[in-house]
Structure formats: structure tokens, C-alpha cells
A and B are shown apart, each in its own frame.
Chain A
Amino acid sequence: AQSVTQLGSHVSVSEGALVLLRCNYSSSVPPYLFWYVQYPNQGLQLLLKYTTGATLVKGINGFEAEFKKSETSFHLTKPSAHMSDAAEYFCAVSDLGANNLFFGTGTRLTVIP
């Protein structure tokens, strides 16, 4: 069975500051890991994903995440926050077949001018 825990339902950062959104997962099989962003009243947009290979994954809008098996983590980072990054971020895990996505509860990112 798979599950995802996102620590911190709400994160606030100043514009230009580092963004760090935490995600820990539980999986009985090698996981596929995803980060999605959701803007108000919109669907989800894929930021990045890890399947196999390099553990540091780069995504769109300057975001990246690192898969750390020993820590069962897949934290999302961005060196410098922009106002446009304000949104809800969801971490998700699936099995190798990507048949089902299990989502975390989400983290709302606020960027302070």
C-alpha cells in the first residue's frame, strides 16, 4: 500500500527566498513520485516526477526534487520564490504501473512580497 505525508499544510516564504515543501512516502514497492501544482479553481499540473534513474529531478518553473530512499522523502525545492508560485502543491505516489495516484493532503504556498 502507498501513502503520502506532507508536513505543513501552509508554508509562507518571502519573495526571493528558498522554497522547501516536504513530502514523505510509504510504499511496499519501488515508487513513482510526483509533485503537482494546483491554482485556484483549476486542475492539477505536473511539476516533476521521479520514476527511475537520477534521484535529483528537475521540473518546470525552476522547481526540483530529490528522491532519498533512505529517508523515504521527496522534498520539493526552488531557490528563489516568485509571486506566481503561490498555489497549492500536492505530492503523490504510485506503483510502477502508475495505475493509481495517492495524493498527500497538500501544502498551500504563500509568497510574501
Chain B
Amino acid sequence: GAVVSQHPSWVICKSGTSVKIECRSLDFQATTMFWYRQFPKQSLMLMATSNEGSKATYEQGVEKDKFLINHASLTLSTLTVTSAHPEDSSFYICSARVQSGERYNEQFFGPGTRLTVL
């Protein structure tokens, strides 16, 4: 149990276009999901906390107008990179937090989405 999926697994886009990444909790509900960014050979950096039914909370230095987050249901959060530029190329990973049961509060991670902006 506690599986998180991401779609797409990889995407290549032209500079100036927008890209949407989906994060789904497949077998549990998650009022809170997290979006991380990972540069090559570096650690994960938290970008924002996605809350179902309310606005996302962004970390300092993350542009909320560039990285749009929508958490419209208890199993789906989306990250849209608007007007993407080459410096946005990165590995984006989401996680979903378990709300109840034995693994309460534990975060389960998706497999990641590799974005390449040409």
C-alpha cells in the first residue's frame, strides 16, 4: 500500500511553454502533498506544500506564479511549470503524506518527473 505515481515520467518541451506534472496517491487519501526539486547530483529541495482545497505554501525563493500548484482532490496534486526556461530543467519529485493508520504522517514519494526545457 501507499503508492504514489507521477505523470509523465519525463517530458521535453520548448522554452516558453508550460508543462503540467501530476502526482497521485493511488491507494490512500492525502490532504497534504509535497513538491521537491532535485538538481543533478544534489539533494531534494522542498518547493512547496500542497494542501487539498486550499492554496499551496511555497518555500522561500520559489516563485508561486511560475510553479502553479493545484490540489483539487484528496488523491491528486498538479504542478504546472509556466513559461518554462532551460534553467527549470530538473527532476521533480512529489510525495504524499499518510493521514491515518500505522504509517501516519509518513511521506511516500513518487518516482519523479524529469523535465528538460530546450
The tally of residues in A whose CB lies under 8 Å from a CB in B reads 20
**Complexed CA–CA distance, A104 and B44 (Å):** 8
CB <8 Å contact, A98 and B105: yes
Number of inter-chain CB pairs below 8 Å: 48
Interfacial chain B residues near A45, Cβ < 8 Å: 109
CB <8 Å contact, A43 and B110: yes
CB <8 Å contact, B42 and A106: yes
Taking chain A's interface residues, is the majority helix, strand, or loop, or is none over half, making it mixed?
Answer: loop
- B59: nearest residue on chain A (CB-CB)? A100
Interfacial chain A residues near B108, Cβ < 8 Å: 46
CB <8 Å contact, A103 and B44: yes
| A77 sits at the interface (CB 8 A) | no
Binding site for A on B (CB under 8 A): 4, 6, 34, 41-46, 49, 91, 93, 95, 97, 105-112, 114
- Asked whether A97 and B106 contact (CB < 8 A) given A43-B112, A90-B44, A106-B42, the answer is no
CB <8 Å contact, B106 and A49: yes
**Can you add 19 more A-B contacts, CB < 8 Å, to A43-B4, A43-B93, A44-B95?**
A41-B91, A41-B112, A41-B114, A42-B112, A43-B6, A43-B111, A44-B93, A46-B106, A98-B97, A98-B106, A99-B49, A100-B46, A101-B44, A101-B46, A103-B43, A103-B44, A105-B42, A106-B42, A108-B41
**Complexed CA–CA distance, A43 and B92 (Å):** 9
Name the contact of B43 in the complex, choosing from A49, A90, A97, A99 (C-beta under 8 A).
A90
CB <8 Å contact, B107 and A98: yes
**Complexed CA–CA distance, A97 and B107 (Å):** 11
**Measured between C-beta atoms, what is the minimum distance from A45 to chain B in Å?**
7
